[in-house]
Structure 1
């Protein structure tokens, strides 16, 4: 794997801010636009003028993705919402001619318009309360229809969608205002909007490359620019669509040269009197007198010294800014579906610092995108924190390049059940996680969580290398409300208090409710209590995940309980680390899966996660399902059915450190007692000394693990921490190596899907888990031939091999078997 770290001198100056010391803003604008054009970040034209004098005028790129004809400064772009100022001007002309009044109801001119309280002023000021027409129209168009102003007006009259608010009550930008305004213009003027525009604006101002064009017209002028977008490094059509028989909110075409003529006319009375024009640049007022910041087709700043508008539609992004106190004009038009350069040009002109986007090209890879589909040989480009493009891409000038040398590039693995947060303060590099390809950990598990605010505060104070999402713990809620009274079901008032706390945490970004019903802090809760809380999570669009009440003697009942919780609370539910921990039930995974499939068939969205080990890790107290820790008969049952004392190791035991690393059988030998008595001793000693105890219990069958891994609705997790059980360092690489490559229990693409896309789906996470343009650039590059877990019980922190490079939010966090020292991790909220 080879990485190039070359940057041009210009790019370094710009990104570091050193270039901001250059005296000429124009030189800076030109340099930035050239740099961005070379990187497919800008395709368009720009003009800057002062007092009518052109200071800068230039075209970059192509006018048509099919012909590759070059743009010129006379090329006419679809202005998108910048068009609104022209329809406002047409209305002002009619007003000045005595043809209409601003405070007339729209119904006066359009009788079928169904809202008697809406005036022309409401339309122009964007205070009407009308809903956007896009959804209304989309639901009523067939594949052969093209929306027009007349058909849209008919739809409003027929559908009568309710107003969003009383006209004049508030400001809300809405394209329906200006499509309706265009209908008024045509009715009052007696001519189509395109003819009115040509006769009253474009013609008099000699705007030779300006016109109204829509899909109901048979031909278009040669100057018309075609919208496109880049896909796989190639320009692909992204131009007018079924809505584009309509005008008013867009579909005026113009060039930067013509828009300067328009700008100059606004300082004169060529079109309307100055007294008429003044209102266009005056902020509208709500019914309560509050300023809206929007005039007639223009955004207006508080001082009235800057008026502006932007536009975006299909492949077109546009902007015009008029600094009226300085008589300066900035015009920016683009047709490549990318608006990044728009803000940079403005910031440079206004003397603000800029930070250019950075890209990295990952070439020569087998892309496994996280959707379960076969791998493809391709390249991936990152821009800042997102995936920019996928395809046969070539490097930009002096671009950073990572040569994958034929390795697999997959989405960063999402650990749906993690305890790696124990390293939030002590190990922000999260080496245990990133060294096995994990880029997002999901914490708050087994009923135990920290408040979202505390988590965010910790990550702000000490940045980390991985993304972190969290559930809200049921036991934590119980402890906050019930204090030490945990060994009973909660009272109604206590449940209500817990619900209020959970609701607040959900609003702050918690994924949902997590329970650890096998543990004592929650074991004595009843199902009704859990359902009541799960309904709060459901109401907020959240989820429920559970270390179920029993993974051994009452497994079937525990599975039934989580199914009922999902059914009653009506939310997705997930079983944490699905397993069969009762020796006499080994080999019955098909029975459990049949129970889950039956629930799914009945409409319960139940899933599971699973880790690839026959050992769990917990407190030895879980080996007493009846919580009768001094009952030798229960201890004997535990050693016979619940774990193998000869293979189960005490990972930590604060009451007697000499026990750590020894099996329960070895501890029994040391004390000249049976394994059941040794188990009772461990719990008794830990209680008496109020110490902590953790055991890696060997109690699962390999055939069950494989069955659970193969179930289509299980995703992979680690349930791991920075130390202790080897799963903390090796769960994901253990699946990829021993299980997928060696045992071939499933295709590699399926395994990665279970680590990424499926996990994101189970968690309700967006923009992660798939390698697709626009998603966050959480990525892992690995060699499928050598990837392997190396962590063991005796060496639980051994790093995996075969993980070549890991990116989180576009930054490398792991490479060459070590952390890079970058900390781009973010809190990921619901």
Structure 2
């Protein structure tokens, strides 16, 4: 039995890494059982196993152990006689009853289901299809939840009626594929009742329980008239507490689950399958034969059994509400493993690996105690502890350490999700320990910005060669696509139709490889000459792949309104989320119009356009000198004069780098003008020309020039930061603008603590969950169970950005520790050398 989406936790089918020791399969069974015993004890002591385990060899019990309780209401201890809901392990019992009816001549496997259930609406589905999971029926959970009332209990007959009434379309034609299907086994339960003329539980008791003299085996379902005395109740651990997790209103059915049994009874059941007590030998043999599909291929599943190693291993798992179950029959080794758990956790994979002599590793937990948790949702801080398990957050609440558990004392400081930098130029290839990022609390960066970036495969290859400390996600850059389709020297025009098609093909491939979407840098020359249609066509490709669009819009100054209209139209026409990169107003005559601009964005949102923004907390930007000429007329004195009067302040705008004359680096344009005895406008034109000439003569040199331009109003910056749909970014790199080392800590210090522009909780939300939402990142950005353990511990009273112009690499203070995927990557203003970062794909 597998749960509806509400409850999907298919533990046994998820491979989990553990730390521990390994033994060869050739080592004595006693030795492996000792390892199993100690392992289960450790897991139980760390609240990761509550259940019963039994191992038998040649029909004799070699190991059995019960750990934990049968119910959280009375704490009755489990025993090997405790009866668990078997979940999907129930299917083998349903299959056995069908086999018995077949031997009695009351049904045939290859007859249509309609032969026995006249209201079943699918003519081509046979009984065998139900047994083998080849029916093509959809799962019943969604159907039941859609059409049942909140107080209705689903039954087997009720499900058949729902199928007949609503006739949901089959997923495939019977026999074409194998697809696990709980619906089929519920229908089998209805067939058993119909053909036998008695309730399923009665037939089960008469034909399986009594012949095998089982003492703790029965069928029990929601609203059964009696409650067996030894029934085990499901529960789960939730933030350090046990909470009920037992039968729900769908549990009026029998077939895909709701058979109860004990470990001792299951051993008797397993042994009976080779004795002929219940059905003849040739009948049971067919249950262990792989299903044959219509195209002649086979799939390793029989009648309620998974088949492995050419039939030498027969097994099944189950997971439903708080129950996790497993039965394995090692036919060649004559061994049986039975595991029954009711605490919402399991150790089946571990136990099997131990018996198979494979290496296993126990889950690693660590506790971060004595912290104020600001969880990223915007809700108030609370005192709590946070427990990590491997790379995920496991629990948040009032927690006490397990025996020998690693404990990190947070000393009353704030623990929040690691910050997500939605717009980054940090070069992890050059600095794999990511000091500029982690020193300000960043655990994930998003690259491929402003139309640039790398192909996803190239990124992945780099990360494999050179692991990094933090996570990386990427957009696909428009300029990169243009260069590959048009050539490096062909970018200064609109693209031809065939070139646009080439770009679209490559973009589709990148989206398939996990890019977040399309990024553009329309103010830069490599993309400036594209028209709206080219951008829109590419954006539609990203939208069709479920992606997003982020843009350094076409103008942040003289044609700002037109540029904003362009991104709004892209959002309106593609219907995908669109985001303005580093939102700003860079034209002096338009300073103070932030509220008008935000009103435009809100109007678009009210019409259904999903437009958002990110913003960095500075009133000076960093780019190239060439962006100061919006008309690209670099030798026009009028345009140069306009730039120094409207687009930047020469006296406060500093050259970060200038390869044509390295002595200019660190000086303002005004300073350089004085050195050259020129007016700032003339110097601006000359600097552009000299850098261009240097670049042509030195084509292998990248980043010939860069400037930090002072050209924004502090009032506008404050307005943009506080817009509810703005998340924080750095737009930073390893060098240059101080934002590369201090954007996030600057928000916490300047705008939260000093100016009280927003609450600390709001600021954290803008750095974490809101960023994740805007990027489409899953399971990141909130301190909650199941999310990745990307975390930052900081002191809100001392956190401070120290990076400044002239000292742009000064480390922030107050960031005490940073974890990525549960690994400590930064502490005491030093990186640890641990590099658990990964490439995040859409």
Q: Normalising by structure 2, what TM-score?
A: 0.96
Give the deviation of 1:159 after TM superposition. 0.6
Which whole-Å CA distance do the structure 1 matches of 2:351 and 2:109 have between them?
36
> What secondary structure, in the 3-state scheme, does the structure 1 residue paired with 2:225 have?
coil
Matched, 1:769 2:775: no
2:184: which partner in 1? 177
Determine if the alignment matches structure 1 residue 386 to structure 2 residue 392.
Answer: yes
The alignment status of 1:440 with 2:444, answered yes or no, reads yes
User: 1:254 aligned to 2:261?
Assistant: yes
Report the counterpart of residue 646 of structure 1 in structure 2. 651
- Tell me which residue corresponds to 1:540: 545
Partner of 1:404: 410
Aligned partner of 2:530 in structure 1 is 525
Matches within 5 A, 1:506-517: 506-517=511-522
The alignment status of 1:559 with 2:564, answered yes or no, reads yes
**Structure 1 Cα separation of the partners of residues 133 and 639 of structure 2:** 73
The equivalent of 2:841 in structure 1 is: 829
C-alpha separation between the residues in 2 aligned to 1:16 and 1:62? 26
Structure 2 unaligned spans of 5+: 1-17, 696-700
Q: What is aligned with 1:5?
A: none
2:423 equivalent to 1:417:
yes
- Deviation of the 1:216 alpha carbon: 2.6
Residue pair 1:231, 1:391 contacting (<8 A) in 2 also: no
Partner residue in 2 for 1:48: 55
Q: Superposition pairs for residues 86-165 of structure 1, below 5 Å?
A: 86-165=93-172
Structure 2: distance between partners of 1:19 and 1:750:
52
CA offsets 1:54-90 (integer angstroms, 9 cap, x no match): 0100001111111111111111110000000000000
Distance between the aligned counterparts of 1:15 and 1:643, measured in 2?
A: 57
Q: Does 1:449 align with 2:461?
A: no
Q: Secondary structure at the match of 1:795?
A: coil
Whether the aligned pair in 1 keeps the contact of 2:478 and 2:527 (CA below 8 Å) is yes
Paired residue secondary structure (2:147): coil
Question: How far apart are the structure 1 equivalents of 2:830 and 2:120?
Answer: 67
* Count of residue pairs the alignment pairs up: 814
One of 88, 106, 111 as aligned partner of 1:81: 88
1:559 alignment partner, SS class: helix
Query: Runs (4+) of structure 1 moved beyond 4 Å?
Result: 18-23
Q: Is residue 485 of structure 1 aligned with residue 499 of structure 2?
A: no
Mapped partners of 1:219, 1:558: distance in 2? 70
Task: Look up the match of 1:293.
Answer: 300
Work out the CA distance in 1 between the residues paired with 2:178 and 2:238: 37
Is the contact between residue 417 and residue 717 of structure 1 (CA under 8 Å) also seen in structure 2? yes
2: CA distance, partners of 1:731 / 1:42: 44
1:525-582 deviation line (CA, Å, top 9, x unaligned): 1111111111111111100000000001111111111101111111110000000111
Deviations 1:665-718 (A, max 9, x none): 110111111111111111111111106101000111111000000000000000
- Aligned match of 2:712: 700
1:757 pairs, out of 762, 769, 788, with 769
Match of 2:365 among 359, 366, 369: 359
Structure 2 SS opposite 1:139: helix
User: What are the Cα deviations for residues 354-409 of structure 1, in whole angstroms up to 9, with x where unaligned?
Assistant: 11110110111111110111111111100000000111110000100011111011
After superposition, the Cα gap between the structure-2 partners of 1:734 and 1:480, relative to the gap in structure 1 and judged at 3 Å, is same
8 Å CA contact 2:20–2:359 kept in 1: the answer is no
The answer to whether the Cα contact below 8 Å between 2:375 and 2:381 also exists between their aligned partners in 1 is: yes
Instruction: Tell me the residue number matched to 2:8.
Output: none
Deviation of residue 428 (structure 1)? Answer: 0.3
Structure 1 Cα separation of the partners of residues 164 and 64 of structure 2? 46
Asked whether the 8 Å contact 2:22–2:358 carries over to 1, the reply is: no
- Contact 1:532–1:569 (CA under 8 A) maintained in structure 2: no
1:8-19 to 2 correspondences below 5 Å:
15-17=19-21
CA contact under 8 A between 2:205 and 2:218: conserved in structure 1?
yes
Q: CA separation in 2, counterparts of 1:718 and 1:438?
A: 10
Per-residue CA deviations over 1:735-759 (Å, capped at 9, x if unaligned) read 0011101100001000000000000
Q: CA RMSD in A?
A: 1.1
Q: Distance in 1 between matches of 2:785 and 2:666?
A: 47
Paired with 1:708 and 1:530, the residues of 2 have a C-alpha distance of 26
Contact 1:737/1:787 (8 A) holds in 2: yes
- Asked if the contact 2:51/2:66 (under 8 Å) is kept, the reply is yes
Tell me the CA shift for residue 20 of structure 1: 7.4
Give the Cα separation in 2 of the matches to 1:256 and 1:19: 25
